[in-house]
Structure 1
Amino acid sequence: MKNRYEVLRVIGMGSYGIVYLCRDLNTNENRVVKQLRPSKRRKEVEMFEHEISILRMLNHKNIPELYEAFSTNGSLFYAMSFIAGDNLEDQIFLRENTFNENESLLILSHLLDLVDYLHKKNIYHQDLRIPNMLLRNKELFLIDFGLSKHKVVPFHSSPNKHDEILEMKLQDYFDLGEILLYLLYTTYSSKGKKALPWTEELSLEKETVYLLKRLLQLKEPYSNTTEISTDLQAALKATEKRN
């Protein structure tokens, strides 16, 4: 692989790419190298190149750093920093870790900071899910920008463009709500219980319920991350008082 990266193991395999943990022979550091399968069509090549272009725009300690993109024997690759840590999906389902209300809100707070950073760069992740988040010593990292969108609305643009941006923002906000709900359910046991709506199954502070309802668009949706942050801080204070 470019005579620079020694493959240590495969750490991920998707429909159009393979992700390797590699050793950089120049620096002796671990890197993550993503490969686009060589048989893929032009659309997949464009998506791969788009992901590289998104990563080039980012410079945040909790997001992988892109080092280089290259091609070898007809395959496209890019190398990025390796972040040690378990993704949230493995923490919940393999390690059976649980997160109480306060811990769940704290994770959301870290994630919201990252979403705010992206949105200020006119980047919308569009794939905020527990497999795409790594947790290491209570520090959250966001990965996988394959479905991310970069959109800048010119000052004099059509209402349709503004609607498109709003839709992408609301998608990210909705995903934040789903992640929070997922985390909150880690402490809930459904054994022998009849399935009910989350508002009845979970015992939550009213501030957390309000936050969730707006994120999930059951009440008036949020219009920006500042609004979300205000309500999130109120929910955190309520859980801290209880504890």
Structure 2
Amino acid sequence: MKVVREVSILRTFRKIYQFFVDIPLKKGVVLQNRYEITTVIGTGSYGIVYHCTDLKTNENKVIKQLRRSKRRSKKELKQFENEISILRMLNHKNMPIFHEKFSHDGNVYFVMNFIEGDNLEDHIFLNHITFNEKESLFFLEDLVELVSYLHNHDIYHQDLRIPNILIKGHEPILIDFGLSKMNVTADFAKESILELKRQDFYDLGEILLYILYTTYSAKNKKALPWTEELSLEKETVHILKRLLGIQEPYSDISEISLDLQAALEKLH
């Protein structure tokens, strides 16, 4: 009990310290004599993300700052550098483009292009957008294409969630590669790669389930399993069960694509 109490106290002090130290930069602050902050887009576990105006080009940009409370942590710095390394490798219209990294007043930052679009989470909860079964599978197909691109480049997102997806012209945009992993060694264990793949597949399953529920109206006061609450074609159920590991999990993204084609043909 004493150890638990000490851990709890440490966490409380850490949160208080972060509250006072990790204060986002204010609107109007100019970084690198070039990027003027306009708004705070969001805060994550180790970074703060800003919308900025590039005074040199008059373009919108996004800047991510490593939290002040994390900048002396080798682990957090390594994670920050890892995200930069991954962004440098990306060359896809539906993913961020890395521009530069810089330091300012002891803090580290990197710059990305600004992608205008609605966050999928806001899209669902604020705009009340719904997806029927067919629309959900088409949306999954688009996500699978993005994940396929990453896996083909030995990159595994590891944080596929609705807040990390933007919608631009009905197409999904993947953002936030802060927890992503990259295979940079030839002797990387096959078991580890499979585990990383399946985490992305599981996340895809959760996203699919989430958007399928946007058209669900509760008829029972008692919550039931999704297999009972949702009326889905057996092909869609099969995909969900394999993505979520209820049945034999997928081992490769190409398997998902094949099952998706079969499910979409059934709904045509």
Write the deviation string for residues 117-167 of structure 1: whole angstroms up to 9, x where unpaired.
00011110000000000012201100000000001463xx48xx1111110
SS at match of 2:102: strand
Of 111, 118, 143, 1:86 maps to 118
SS class of match (2:92) = coil
Q: Aligned pair 1:133/2:165, yes or no? A: yes
Q: 1:5 to 1:237 in 2, by over 3 A?
A: same
Cα distance in 2, alignment partners of residues 236 and 194 from structure 1? 31
Task: Tell me the residue number matched to 1:226.
Answer: 254
CA contact (8 A) 1:87 1:135 kept: yes
Matched, 1:143 2:175: yes
Which of the residues 52, 65, 69 maps onto 1:22? 52
CA shift, 1:116, in A, is 0.4
1:46 matched to 2:78? The reply is yes
Cα distance in structure 2, aligned partners of 1:210 and 1:162: 26
User: What SS does the corresponding residue of 1:214 show, helix, strand or coil?
Assistant: helix
Q: Which residue of 2 aligns with 1:34?
A: 64
After superposition, what is the alpha-carbon deviation per residue over 1:99-125, rounded to whole angstroms, capped at 9, x for unaligned? 111111111111100100000111100
Partner of 1:62: 94
Distance 2:247 2:215 in 1: 25
- 2:71 counterpart of 1:12: no
- Please, which moves more after superposition, 193-202 or 28-37? 193-202
For the residues of structure 2 that align with 1:180 and 1:31, how far apart are their CA atoms?
30
One of 161, 184, 201 as aligned partner of 1:173: 201
1:203 partnered with 2:235: no
Divergent runs of 4+, >6 A: none
Deviations 1:158-199 (A, max 9, x none): 8xx111111001111111111000000011122543211111
Equivalent residues, number: 236
State, as a whole percentage, how many aligned pairs show the same letter.
Answer: 64
User: How do residues 67-78 of structure 1 correspond to structure 2 at under 5 angstroms?
Assistant: 67-78=99-110
Residue pair 1:153, 1:162 contacting (<8 A) in 2 also:
no
**Whole-Å separation in 2 of the counterparts to 1:46 and 1:223:** 29
Aligned-partner Cα distance in 2 for 1:38–1:90: 28
CA distance in 1, matches of 2:228, 2:265: 22
Deviations 1:68-112 (A, max 9, x none): 011111010000011111111111111111111111111111110
Larger radius of gyration: 2
Conservation of the 8 A alpha-carbon contact between 1:33 and 1:80: yes
What is the rounded CA distance, in whole Å, between the counterparts of 1:233 and 1:45 in structure 2?
42
What TM-score results when the alignment is normalised by the length of structure 1?
Answer: 0.94
Conserved? CA contact 1:170–1:221, under 8 Å: yes
TM-score normalised by the chain length of structure 2: 0.85
Superposition RMSD in Å: 1.3
CA distance in 1, matches of 2:231, 2:100: 48
Question: Matched residue of 1:99: which SS?
Answer: coil
The residue number in structure 1 matching 2:140 is: 108
Point out where structure 1 has 5 or more consecutive residues left out of the alignment. none
